Amino acid sequence: MKKNIVLFVLFVLPIVAYLFFASGVNSFTKLPVITPKIADFGNWKSLNGKKVSLDKKITILGFSGSNILENRGNYFNLNEKIYKRYNGFEDLQFVVLCPLGTEKEAQKIIDALSPFTDVKNWNFVFASPDEIQVFYNQLHLKGKLNDKLGTSNVFIVDKERNLRGRKGSNKDQKEEYKEGYDTFHPSELSNEMLDDFKIILYEYRAALKKNHNATKQL
């Protein structure tokens, strides 16, 4: 009898545990769409003068507000926890939408990051206050911009311009609604955001593999 118990623990239980956790992973291989088909950016200028678009890019989207330097720690958190880990992916960009007139402050952020980070995928884009508010409103989010037109949250936008997150469930209150990820808290970036970001990458990798067109872009 004892021998059978030992065999069960050594051989059967690990297999059961594997199947359990594997089924759990499979159930989270799609990150819900919070807002579908959001508008692309207008003809707005970036620091390096290039046109920045949401099309065909996985985008981490932020809103700096006019007090960008006061919140520079948030960008360092995002840089350390997410950007530096995945910066090698060609299909990924980090975009911060800033009010016109904050170009010098944004450049200071880039200058502070550049000694220890390849900043090529950091994009600071500038628009008028009204344009920023209109753009944010069409995201249809519960959270609002502050009086400086900024937020500490960043958002995940997929290649088809769908804003992704967690919808939550009335049946299961443990499954929280999450539309953005707070850069003020490094632990939220390391846990919730990193988990959800990996799901997005998994989706595209699986699609590429299915189409026999896998590349090193993702």
* Digit-coded pLDDT (tens) for 99-109: 999 999 999 99
Alpha carbon separation from 145 to 6, 52, 150 (Å, rounded): 59, 22, 5
- DSSP assigned state of 31: P
Q: Are strands 122-127 and 92-99 parallel, antiparallel or unpaired?
A: parallel
- pTM to 2 decimal places: 0.82
SS3 33: strand
To which H or E segment does residue 127 belong? Answer: strand 122-127
> What was the pLDDT predicted at 2?
55
Write out pLDDT tens, residues 189-211: 999 999 999 999 999 888 777 66
What is the CATH code for 28-216?
3.40.30.10
> What was the pLDDT predicted at 29?
67
- CA gap 41, 53 in Å, rounded: 6
Q: Measure the CA angle with vertex 120, ends 86 and 102; round to 5°.
A: 115
Sign of CA dihedral 50, 55, 58, 63: positive
Q: Is pLDDT above 50 for 16?
A: no
> What was the pLDDT predicted at 168?
77
Which value, in Å, is the radius of gyration of the alpha carbons in the chain? Answer: 20
Write out pLDDT tens, residues 45-65: 999 898 999 999 999 999 999
> What was the pLDDT predicted at 214?
45
Nearest to 165 by CA among 151, 179, 182: 179
**Residue bearing the bigger pLDDT, 163 or 218:** 163
- CA gap 51, 86 in Å, rounded: 22
Q: What average pLDDT is seen over the chain?
A: 86
